[in-house]
Amino acid sequence: MGCALFKQTLSSIFNSTNPSYCVVVAGHEAPNFELPKNRRFKFLSLDHPLPPLENGYYLAAVKDKLIKLRSAWEYAKSTWEPNYVMKLDWDDLISSRLVDWLVSAKDEAGYLIKHGWILSSNGRRFIQRTEYLDRFCGSCLIIRSDLADRTGPFLTHVEGVRLDDAGYEFVTRDQYSLVPGSRIGTLLLNDSHQRYAAQFAYLGYQLQTVPFSAIVSRRDHRNNAGAEPYRTPTLRMFLGRIRRTRLVTSRLRKQFKLD
């Protein structure tokens, strides 16, 4: 199932209405389908040891993701010198409009994708809209390349930082500010997507917002290492899901290359 989802993700990228982009994928093994033969695409085959599982599978997966992201970013910088960089998870889908919009947008420091869609892995007819994509999806940030390597106290306990009791209490209470005691990281090489606005503010920049729904986040599949544990929905949550639910239209299928 993982390869099938990844194949759809690649299809959504190459469905862009504007060709001014490049794609770097980093992984231990190539998928079981033919990769695009395109000068704008590169698959990096890495052989670094997988992080130990002693602190849990999720933490190990995040560390592995950051290692691969670093390699992909170094390749992209040296090969194409892109104006912007975006992290896209292997199981999410991107709007065909996004690159075209970014090319015509103002030269801002970065853009946060808050508007998007949530699609169940086994759902084909219904989809949920959201205005809070950055709360749960890592595919929500576009960074101007000259700022991607700027550093600050951006790495949190997810990346292995040891916090004291006050730090853990703060993390639980406030999911949007910088974490006291965080280690130095870069704007690109961290996985604290709820804290992106605070990270930009720390460097003296304001993070702008993409003004349309630009990402489909696919949830509820077994390959999603970052999936939140299941919680029995309250009546309010259930009614909220109904209110946000929409039919998957032909327009959405075309825009996100939904199969």
Q: Which domain holds residue 11?
A: 2-256
Q: Which residue has the higher pLDDT, 72 or 56?
A: 72
* pTM of the predicted structure, to 2 decimals: 0.89
Q: Which residue has the higher pLDDT, 60 or 144?
A: 144
d(CA 214, CA 156): 27
CATH number, position 19: 3.90.550
- The per-residue pLDDT for 13 is 97
- The per-residue pLDDT for 228 is 46
- The per-residue pLDDT for 227 is 46
Report helix, strand or coil for 130: strand
Q: How many domains does the chain have?
A: 1
Provide mean pLDDT across the span 82-107.
96
- The per-residue pLDDT for 221 is 62
- The per-residue pLDDT for 224 is 54
- The per-residue pLDDT for 78 is 95
Site of tokens 């500010």: 177
Provide mean pLDDT across the span 196-202.
97
The sheet with strand 245-247 has its strands ordered as: 93-94, 215-219, 116-120, 126-130, 245-247
Please determine, for residue 246, whether its predicted confidence score (pLDDT) is greater than 80.
yes
Confidence label for 232 from pLDDT (cuts 50, 70 and 90):
low
Confidence label for 239 from pLDDT (cuts 50, 70 and 90):
low
H or E element in which residue 13 lies: helix 2-13
